[in-house]
């Protein structure tokens, strides 16, 4: 319907146009007819019949020449009112026409340029992520290629325990047994073993909590202790271990045996057993009886040396300590224990094992003899401990003093060795004094002439100086250094008439030197030399004549004047005002060709340059490790290994992974 209406409109407009055209044609025709009568032919003016801009393709004129445009609404308004068309009219009214016009497309070359620019910017930005890595690599002191070399991880207990795979039947068996057990902690994250968990489940809440706390504490303590032990075990220092052992021993000895027995019988048993074993070993091997090569050597060579003697006695002392019979009566302890507890089989066994000599018939006599000897022996120590000394040992042990608890013996023990010592000392001192005396006497003998000679020289000096002062006929120009000269003059002007000094060889020598250089005038020579060097350094006249020119000879030849360049005045010398010095200002080419004339570009300042030059890198001036560090090349490669281009650093991937894993773990937790 709408279409029909539009067509109608079209038809209307077209009919109007047609009318207009007919009128035009009619006028034309009339004009032609009137012109036919005229003989004069007028020039034909063609009429332009271009389609006007006002006419649209659809034959709708764009208004009546006043710039009016047909608006869509007008067209809609022109639809006649009818019920049938109302619906369509409403629909058309709702349509809102967008007046804005789409921009014409950018020309292709320009568009491509934009695309390229954006692409380039993006890629540049993306590739700039390498800046840090590149900077780092450029600055790096050492680069070892391939950069991300595969290095197998070091195996440790923790990794091995995870990666361990059962292979042999024995291992399989162990594995099955372990798997059955409820007491192993399966993973690190788990805090409790299966058995413990079960136990906790059976308890009520409060108790379980308490128990759990206790367990935790124990675990922590245990792990701390393990760590500590591990750390201590790693210490390699012998000294540390020696001190540690000593401290432990001290701790043991501090407590009396009985106390210890009460506290910790097991360890005491072990200790006693150990000692027993050590004693047996010592008795068999005689290791500390001065039988070793070292001891024999010392005994042979350094018998008189108190140091060696001391060392030997020390060893003997150790041997004595080791072979000493421990007189700890376990029976009494046992009795005490028996009083308290029921009789223990272990203890009985122990006494038998540890102290089999208890019932040894051989021991009884020694015991009694020891008791007797204890009064005689000076060196008896603690009442309970009876050293089984051998006569040889006692002999050698004359100056060994031990601290005793026995009041009676104190005096003796203190006095005797001290006296011995004193004697020895006195002897030594005497010898030393003798020595000293000898020395002194020798010294004195030696010194006597020395002193005299010194005196003489002094007197000489005074004489000579006096002598000099007496001399008046000295050229004042030749005085350079007054004080020094007086000293020097001593040697030069000495004459050896004195009978006293005739046997002194040094003076003789000096004399000879003096005589040899009698005629030399050093100062004069020096001055001459300086004069010469000054002459040499002066700029020379240059002869400008051609070589050979004017050198002819013959009668009536006049000698021509020399043509010379004017000589510039000699430059000032550094030693002009210094009387006693010649400073050579000429440059030696032999040195200059090895010297750096300009500070290199890479060096910031003179000091930095000097530092690098003065810092040696060779092994004669540095330790091995320093040399290795200093001479390590910047680039090192592995032989026969392909070096791939650098790959993006792992940190990026790692971060990504970490993120993923964290999310997964969080899921597990909740």
Partner 1 sequence: MEKAKIKVISRNPADYLRQTRHDIFKQPRNTDPKLHPFQAAREYTRALNAAKLERLFAKPFIHSLDGHADAICSLAKHPVSLSCIASGCCDGEIRIWNLSTRKCLSAVNAHRLHSDGLSFRQCCTEYSTGGDDKSIKIWSLDLATKNSLKEPDMTILSKNIFNAIDHSWKSDIFATCGQVVEIWDEEKTEPIRSFTWGIESHIGVRFNPIETNVLACTGSDRSIALYDVRASTPMRKVILEMKTNTVAWNPLEAYHFTAANEDGNLYTFDMRRLDSALCVHVDHVSAVLDVDYSPTGQEFVSGSFDKTVRIFPVNKGKSREVYHTRRMQRVFCVKWSMDNNFIVSGSDETNLRLWKADSSARLGALTARQKASNNYNKKLKKKFENHPQVKRILRHRHVPKPIHRAAAEKRVILDSQKRKEENRLRYTKPDKVERVPERKKHVVGEEA
**Site residues (CB under 8 A) for partner 1?**
112-113, 115-117, 119-120, 123-124, 126-128, 130, 134, 137, 143, 145, 306-307, 428-429, 432, 593-597, 600, 612-614, 616-621, 623, 627-628, 630-633, 635, 637-647
Buried b (16+ CB within 10 A) or exposed e, 396-405: bbebbbeebe
At residue 567's C-alpha, the angle toward residues 565 and 570, to 5°, is: 160
Q: Do you find a cis peptide bond into 193, omega within 30 degrees of 0?
A: no
Cα dihedral sign, 418-424-427-428? negative
Instruction: Give me the least distance between CB of 315 and partner 1, in Å please.
Output: 19
Instruction: Give me the least distance between CB of 117 and partner 1, in Å please.
Output: 5
Instruction: Give me the least distance between CB of 240 and partner 1, in Å please.
Output: 21
CA–CA distances in Å: residue 94 to residues 68, 90, 426: 23, 6, 138
Q: What residues form DSSP beta bridges with 410?
A: none
* Residue closer to partner 1, measured from CB, 208 or 627: 627
Instruction: Give me the least distance between CB of 297 and partner 1, in Å please.
Output: 14
Q: Are 324 and 272 in contact (CB under 8 A)?
A: no
Q: Are 308 and 302 in contact (CB under 8 A)?
A: yes
* Residue closer to partner 1, measured from CB, 532 or 643: 643
* Residue closer to partner 1, measured from CB, 428 or 578: 428
Q: How far is CA 394 from its chain centroid?
A: 58
Instruction: Give me the least distance between CB of 483 and partner 1, in Å please.
Output: 34
For 634, residues 6+ apart whose C-beta sits below 8 A from its C-beta are: 140, 141, 142, 143
* Residue closer to partner 1, measured from CB, 181 or 611: 611
Instruction: Give me the least distance between CB of 126 and partner 1, in Å please.
Output: 8
Q: Give CA–CA dist 476/489, Å, rounded.
A: 15
Among residues 345, 354, 410, the alpha carbon closest in space to that of 381 is found at 410
* Residue closer to partner 1, measured from CB, 569 or 618: 618
Q: How far is CA 6 from its chain centroid?
A: 96
Instruction: Give me the least distance between CB of 236 and partner 1, in Å please.
Output: 15
Q: What token pair was written down for 311? A: 């060392």
* Residue closer to partner 1, measured from CB, 46 or 600: 600
Exposure of 493 in the CB half-sphere (CA atoms within 13 A)? 18
CA–CA distances in Å: residue 650 to residues 127, 132, 376, 653: 17, 14, 84, 5
* Residue closer to partner 1, measured from CB, 54 or 610: 610
Q: Give CA–CA dist 93/77, Å, rounded.
A: 9
Instruction: Give me the least distance between CB of 413 and partner 1, in Å please.
Output: 24
* Residue closer to partner 1, measured from CB, 570 or 616: 616
Instruction: Give me the least distance between CB of 130 and partner 1, in Å please.
Output: 4
For 132, residues 6+ apart whose C-beta sits below 8 A from its C-beta are: none
For 62, residues 6+ apart whose C-beta sits below 8 A from its C-beta are: 53, 54, 55, 56, 68, 69, 70
DSSP 582-634: ----SPPHHHHTTS--S--TT--SHHHHHHHHHS--STTTS-HHHHHHHH--S
* Residue closer to partner 1, measured from CB, 35 or 617: 617
Instruction: Give me the least distance between CB of 139 and partner 1, in Å please.
Output: 13
Cα dihedral sign, 400-403-406-409? positive
At residue 525's C-alpha, the angle toward residues 524 and 527, to 5°, is: 65
How many other CB atoms sit within 10 Å of the CB of residue 262?
15
Instruction: Give me the least distance between CB of 638 and partner 1, in Å please.
Output: 8
Q: What share of the chain is helix, strand, coil (3-state, %, to 5)?
A: 60, 0, 35
* Residue closer to partner 1, measured from CB, 250 or 647: 647
* Residue closer to partner 1, measured from CB, 51 or 633: 633
* Residue closer to partner 1, measured from CB, 623 or 664: 623
* Residue closer to partner 1, measured from CB, 98 or 141: 141
* Residue closer to partner 1, measured from CB, 169 or 633: 633
DSSP 574-592: TTSS-TT-----SPPHHHH
Instruction: Give me the least distance between CB of 588 and partner 1, in Å please.
Output: 15
Instruction: Give me the least distance between CB of 10 and partner 1, in Å please.
Output: 48
For 400, residues 6+ apart whose C-beta sits below 8 A from its C-beta are: 313, 317, 379, 417
Instruction: Give me the least distance between CB of 664 and partner 1, in Å please.
Output: 29
């Amino acid at each position: 319907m709408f279409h029909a209406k539009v067509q109608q409109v079209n038809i209307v407009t077209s009919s109007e146009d047609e009318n207009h055209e007919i009128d035009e044609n009619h006028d034309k025709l009339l004009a032609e007819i009137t012109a036919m009568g005229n003989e004069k032919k007028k020039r034909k003016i063609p009429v332009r019949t271009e389609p006007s801009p006002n006419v649209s393709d659809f034959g709708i004129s764009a208004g009546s020449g006043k710039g009016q445009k047909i608006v869509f609404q007008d067209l809609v308004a022109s639809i006649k009112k009818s019920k049938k068309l109302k619906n369509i009219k409403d629909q058309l009214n709702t349509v809102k026409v967008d007046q804005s016009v789409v921009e014409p497309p950018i020309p292709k070359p320009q568009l491509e340029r934009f695309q390229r620019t954006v692409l380039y910017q993006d890629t540049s930005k993306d590739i700039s992520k390498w800046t840090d890595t590149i900077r780092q690599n450029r600055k790096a002191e050492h680069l070892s290629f391939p950069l991300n070399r595969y290095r197998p991880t070091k195996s440790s207990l923790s990794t091995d325990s995870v990666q361990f795979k059962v292979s042999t039947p024995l291992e399989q068996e162990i594995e099955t047994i372990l798997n059955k057990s409820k007491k192993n902690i399966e993973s690190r994250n788990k805090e409790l073993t299966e058995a413990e968990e079960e136990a906790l489940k059976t308890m009520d809440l409060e108790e379980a909590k308490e128990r759990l706390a206790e367990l935790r504490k124990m675990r922590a303590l245990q792990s701390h202790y393990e760590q500590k032990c591990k750390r201590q075990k790693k210490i390699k220092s012998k000294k540390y271990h020696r001190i540690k052992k000593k401290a432990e021993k001290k701790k043991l000895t501090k407590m009396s045996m009985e106390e210890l027995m009460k506290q910790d019988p097991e360890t005491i048993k072990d200790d006693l057993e150990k000692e027993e074993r050590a004693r047996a070993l010592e008795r068999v091997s005689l290791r500390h009886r001065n039988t070793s090569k070292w001891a024999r050597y010392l005994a042979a060579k350094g018998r008189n040396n108190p140091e060696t003697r001391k060392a030997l006695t020390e060893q003997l002392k150790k041997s004595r300590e080791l072979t000493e019979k421990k007189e700890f009566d376990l029976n009494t302890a046992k009795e005490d224990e028996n009083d308290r507890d029921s009789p223990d089989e272990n203890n009985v066994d122990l006494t038998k094992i540890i102290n089999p000599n208890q019932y040894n018939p051989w021991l009884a006599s020694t015991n009694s003899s020891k008791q007797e000897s204890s009064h005689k022996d000076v060196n008896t120590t603690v009442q309970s401990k009876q050293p089984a000394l051998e006569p040889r040992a006692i002999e050698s042990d004359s100056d060994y003093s031990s601290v005793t608890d026995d009041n009676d013996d104190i005096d003796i023990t203190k006095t005797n060795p001290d006296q011995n010592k004193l004697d020895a000392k006195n002897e030594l001192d005497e010898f030393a004094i003798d020595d000293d005396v000898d020395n002194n006497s020798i010294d004195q003998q030696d010194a006597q002439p020395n002193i005299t000679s010194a005196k003489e020289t002094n007197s000489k000096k005074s004489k000579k100086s006096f002598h000099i002062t007496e001399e008046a006929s000295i050229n004042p120009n030749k005085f350079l250094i007054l004080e020094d000269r007086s000293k020097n003059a001593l040697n030069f002007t000495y004459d050896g008439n004195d009978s006293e000094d005739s046997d002194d060889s040094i003076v003789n020598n000096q004399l000879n030197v003096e005589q040899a250089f009698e005629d030399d005038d050093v100062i004069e020579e020096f001055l001459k030399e300086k004069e010469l060097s000054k002459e040499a350094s002066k700029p020379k006249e240059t002869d400008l004549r051609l070589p050979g020119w004017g050198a002819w000879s013959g009668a009536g030849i006049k000698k021509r004047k020399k043509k010379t360049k004017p000589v510039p005045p000699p430059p000032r010398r550094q030693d002009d005002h210094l009387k006693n010095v010649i400073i050579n200002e000429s440059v030696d080419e032999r040195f200059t060709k090895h010297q750096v004339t300009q500070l290199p570009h890479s060096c910031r300042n003179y000091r930095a340059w000097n530092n690098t030059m003065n810092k040696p890198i060779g092994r004669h001036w540095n330790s091995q490790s320093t040399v290795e560090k200093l001479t390590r090349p910047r680039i090192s490669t592995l032989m026969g290994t392909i070096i791939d281009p650098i790959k993006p650093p792992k940190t990026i991937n790692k971060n990504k992974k970490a993120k993923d894993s964290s999310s997964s773990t969080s899921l597990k937790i909740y």
